[in-house]
Amino acid sequence: MVNEKYYGYGTAPSVIRDLFAYGLEAAKKVGKENVYDYSLGNPSIPAPAKVNEKIKEYADGDSIALHGYSVAAGHEDVRQKLADNLNERFDVNAKASELFMTCGCAPALISTAKGIAADENSEFIVIAPYFPEYNIFFGAAGKVKVVPPDTEHFQINMPELAKAVNEKTVAVVINTPNNPSGVVYTRETLQKIGDFLKKKGEEFGHPIYILADEPYRELVYGGIEVPFIPTIYDNTIVCYSWSKSLSLPGERIGYVYVPEKCADGKKVYAAVAGAARELGQVCPPTLIQKVVGDCVGCMPDLEAYDVNRTLLYNSLIEYGYEVAKPDGAFYMFVKAPNGDANAYSEKAKLEHNLLVVPGDGFGCPGYFRLSYCVSKKTIEDSLPAFKAMIESYK
């Protein structure tokens, strides 16, 4: 009698969870220091000190005001701080009334998708490689269409994107810096997409939104630019969370930014709010809501990630691996030596307790993802395993 779809969602095997569980078991046998777990995207740098200081400060204040309901969109003064920060950084004239805070980025994406999908035949285009949960998030609102990857530069395969767009398309989902590739889309790439969607929107007589999924915005290295897409293409809706930038993934706090200049901007905002209501989003958690308002200017201490990134990337290249250019997030996307990433992952696991995620679930077979949000020592200790692995294919 249970709902079969949700039973399926609740029992679906997860490659990442299984690898992680394997690592925990292996650690019991061979010691934690001999397991090299690159499976999970859980931040390994602490939240900025200000975050925990503010938490304590608020906990000493008025409990009723602190823990009481806020309006569904989040406290207006908090949203104003977020808007001010966007305006400072990107000169976009954002307003508190354009921001709708949510319990993390996942409900932000789902609410937005449900708000803009006229019906269940509406199509969402995702670009491989992509975050596997997109199938569930956008499948909740409409149909998901996958654009095959550009495996040369891990930018966007424009001819394939052009083929995918049609009259039913409501949005193209853009995730930059990208999970799983770690690649940052260039201004040129984004400009091309914007121009193309503008033309197509005019042709079809309705807007095609860019839905920008931006939890990794601040995780970028070597001064690379991460263009703010609303400044390139008007019909852009941004979904954000502080999970990675403030290392707060468990606290579930994020937002949707619907610029009024978007086509039907105010209507879209109302529909996002309505969809959030049906997700049970009564309000974003109030304590952490206030804290991120105060810490919105804080930048994460990315040095540890950058050290890991450089060491791992340089070593892999030296050993002969092909790796997508990892300018952002804390992921690296590596070509499996003989093109079979599942076999590589299995062999690495069994022979070296080296845990890497095959790219199939990301829509990009033949590659594997490394989450380098681990200790530097793990990277150092794992290098012989990476070396032995590629040599075993020669």
Footprint (CB under 8 A) of its own copies, residues 272-291: 272-275, 277-289
140 binds its own copies (CB under 8 A): yes
Distance, CA of 38 to CA of 386 (rounded, Å): 12
Give least dist CB 112 to its own copies, A. Answer: 10
Q: Is 210 helix (H, G, I), strand (E, B) or coil?
A: strand
299 binds its own copies (CB under 8 A): no
52 binds its own copies (CB under 8 A): yes
Identity of the residue, 102 or 189, whose beta carbon is nearer to its own copies in the bound complex:
102
Identity of the residue, 226 or 273, whose beta carbon is nearer to its own copies in the bound complex:
273
Contacts of 122 (CB under 8 A, 6+ apart): 116, 141, 142, 143, 168, 169, 170
Q: Which residue has tokens 């495996």?
A: 151
Choose among 325, 319, 374, 363: nearest CA to 341. 363
108 binds its own copies (CB under 8 A): yes
Burial zone of 325 (CB within 10 Å; 0-12 exposed, 13-18 middle, 19+ buried): middle
Site for its own copies in 320-349 (CB under 8 A): none
Backbone CA torsion sign across 12, 368, 110, 127 = negative
Choose among 337, 241, 246, 374: nearest CA to 299. 246
Contacts of 305 (CB under 8 A, 6+ apart): 44, 45, 219, 221, 330, 372, 373
One of 15, 16, 22, 42 touching its own copies (CB under 8 A) = 42
Q: Which stretch binds its own copies (CB under 8 A): 59-67, 151-159, 174-182, 298-306?
A: 59-67
101 binds its own copies (CB under 8 A): no
Identity of the residue, 149 or 293, whose beta carbon is nearer to its own copies in the bound complex:
293
Identity of the residue, 123 or 327, whose beta carbon is nearer to its own copies in the bound complex:
123
Helix ranges (H only) for 35-75 are: 49-59, 63-67
* Residue 345 in tokens: 């992952």
25 binds its own copies (CB under 8 A): no
Give least dist CB 40 to its own copies, A. Answer: 8
Site for its own copies in 227-256 (CB under 8 A): 247-252
DSSP state of 241: E
11 binds its own copies (CB under 8 A): yes
DSSP assignment of 322-356 equals: -B----BTTEEEEE-TTS-HHHHHHHHHHHH-EE-
Give least dist CB 313 to its own copies, A. Answer: 24
387 binds its own copies (CB under 8 A): no
DSSP state of 35: -
59 binds its own copies (CB under 8 A): yes
Q: Which stretch binds its own copies (CB under 8 A): 110-118, 188-196, 356-364, 381-389?
A: 110-118
Identity of the residue, 263 or 343, whose beta carbon is nearer to its own copies in the bound complex:
263
261 binds its own copies (CB under 8 A): no
Give least dist CB 280 to its own copies, A. Answer: 3
Give least dist CB 28 to its own copies, A. Answer: 17
9 binds its own copies (CB under 8 A): yes
Identity of the residue, 149 or 207, whose beta carbon is nearer to its own copies in the bound complex:
207
Please report, for the chain, how many H helices and E strands are present, in that order: 14, 12
- Strand ranges, E, within 103-159: 123-127, 143-147
Identity of the residue, 103 or 146, whose beta carbon is nearer to its own copies in the bound complex:
103
Beta strand 236-241 with 169-175 is: unpaired
302 binds its own copies (CB under 8 A): no
Q: Which residue has tokens 């060491």?
A: 311
The contact mask relative to its own copies for 152-191 (x = CB under 8 A, - = no) is ------------------x---------------------
10 binds its own copies (CB under 8 A): yes
Longest dimension (CA), the chain: 66
